[in-house]
Amino acid sequence: MTSLFFGGFMINYKELEQKYSTPLYVYDENKIIEIMHDYKDNFKSDEFNTKVLYASKALSILKIYRLVKEHGLCADVVSGGEIFTALKAGMNPQDLYFHGNNKSPYELEYAISNDVTHIVIDSLSDFNHIEAAAKKLNKKVSCLIRLNTGVEAHTHKFIVTSHIDSKFGMLIGSKDLNQTLELIKKSKYVILEGFHSHIGSQIMTMEGFYAAIDKLLDYLKNFNEVLSLNIGGGFGAKYTCDDKPLEIKAIVNGLIKYTTEKLHQLNIKIDTLMIEPGRSIVCEAGTTLYKIGALKQTPNRQYYFIDGGMTDNIRPALYQAKYEGYIVGKENLPKRLVTVAGKCCESGDIIMEDTYLPDAEEGDLLVVKSTGAYGYSMSSNYNKALRPAVVFVHDGASRLAVRRQTFNDLIEGEIDENI
């Protein structure tokens, strides 16, 4: 078998390799669209408005912003560059929410002058920068304040700690938060839209989200206005067979039900409830296709060396992320313990350590699954590696979304008087 079943169509990886070469990011567009609709069509309430913001740091290319726009989602953006790309793809600036703990004056002015006026305030100092930019441009901005609720979730566990030293957000009850609220009251440019919280990533249970909703709504009770809430992203994705993420419909139904009940209990209203899924939209829809080059047997390890590595997927080196894969055409052969390593000059450049794969030969094609989130978006030119191409497969046809870099791309922007 040389193919993967993609959105109802068989895709031949050998053909993709011949057409686009390797390494190659391959996305199943039908799957992304299906997931976007799972979120959007099920995250609905009769009592408040809802918005699904795609957390675009997971994959921030023109093609994905265009899909976000076409399928009626909004997006979370964290830099001038993400705003630029989203706008180039035709997104409505009012559908973008600008996050970040250190937005520069340049980025803020760029955002506001392009009508990106939904902004998330991260600190008192960030508020000052936002207000200064809005004042300079004489425009009003509508802001959510990112709160540190003290709830921190990771996979199956969540903890409620004082968590006072987080890089993000402001502690409920802190002097900085109270001062920011006072300043907003007096500001001619900054309007309070509501509050935001994000509790972690790759979360497989709902308890942490419910604990954060409790904190946010208990806090909201202190306000007379009807405000909005954004409860962040972090919904789990299936990287390996050990991961058991909840179904999207169950997640969003759970969030709506829990929030509605708590609102009734406290007798308060909200204007809009927002969520910000990133990886769960693009992770499983993406695979990376590599070619196995050299093989090496050391006393304790069989290595398969691939033509990519930490430059196209930094996650295993950065936080020991686990992946699974298979060799094209050898899916049903017996497997043994091997390690798949990249070609960078770093011992930590391992994509799959101690994984099970069949015997390989030089030239075999290896598919690594669930690489769609934070793969391309975190890729680098370390060792002057070329960033791979990105291909989207839709209704059986493949189309280039990002072309492979060339050597010339590697020196673009570099200055050498002799060239």
In the complex, what is the shortest distance from the CB of residue 305 to ligand PLP, in angstroms, rounded to a whole number? 30
344 is catalytic: no
Q: Kindly state the tokens that stand for 405.
A: 């870099």
Query: Residue 184 or 378: which CB sits closer to ligand PLP?
Result: 378
Q: What secondary structure letter does DSSP report for 377?
A: G
DSSP 128-156: HHHHHHHHHHT--EEEEEEEE-SEEEETT
- Of all residues in this chain, which one has the CB nearest to ligand PLP in the complex? 278
Q: Is 122 in the site for ligand PLP (CB under 6 A)?
A: no
Beta strand 397-402 pairing with 270-275: unpaired
List, in sequence order, every residue forming a beta bridge with 235; answer none if it has no partner: 203
Give me the 44-63 binding string for ligand PLP, x by CB under 6 A, dash otherwise: -----------x--x-----
- E strand or H helix at 157, and its extent? strand 157-160
Give me the 329-368 binding string for ligand PLP, x by CB under 6 A, dash otherwise: ----------------------------------------
Cα angle: 204, vertex 206, 212; to 5 degrees: 120
* 193-232 residues near ligand PLP, rule: CB under 6 A: 198, 201, 232
Sign, CA torsion 37/39/42/43? negative
Task: Select the span of 62-70, 108-116, 272-280, 293-301 touching ligand PLP (CB under 6 A).
Answer: 272-280
In the complex, what is the shortest distance from the CB of residue 231 to ligand PLP, in angstroms, rounded to a whole number? 10
Report how many residues bind ligand PLP under the rule CB under 6 A. 16
Among 79, 123, 280, 379, binds ligand PLP (CB under 6 A): 280
List strand residue ranges (DSSP E) for 231-308, in order.
270-275, 286-297, 302-306
- CA–CA distance from 348 to each of 168, 342, 395 (Å)? 29, 9, 38
In the complex, what is the shortest distance from the CB of residue 275 to ligand PLP, in angstroms, rounded to a whole number? 9
Query: Residue 180 or 280: which CB sits closer to ligand PLP?
Result: 280
Residue numbers of the site for ligand PLP (CB under 6 A)? 55, 58, 76, 99, 198, 201, 232-235, 276-280, 373
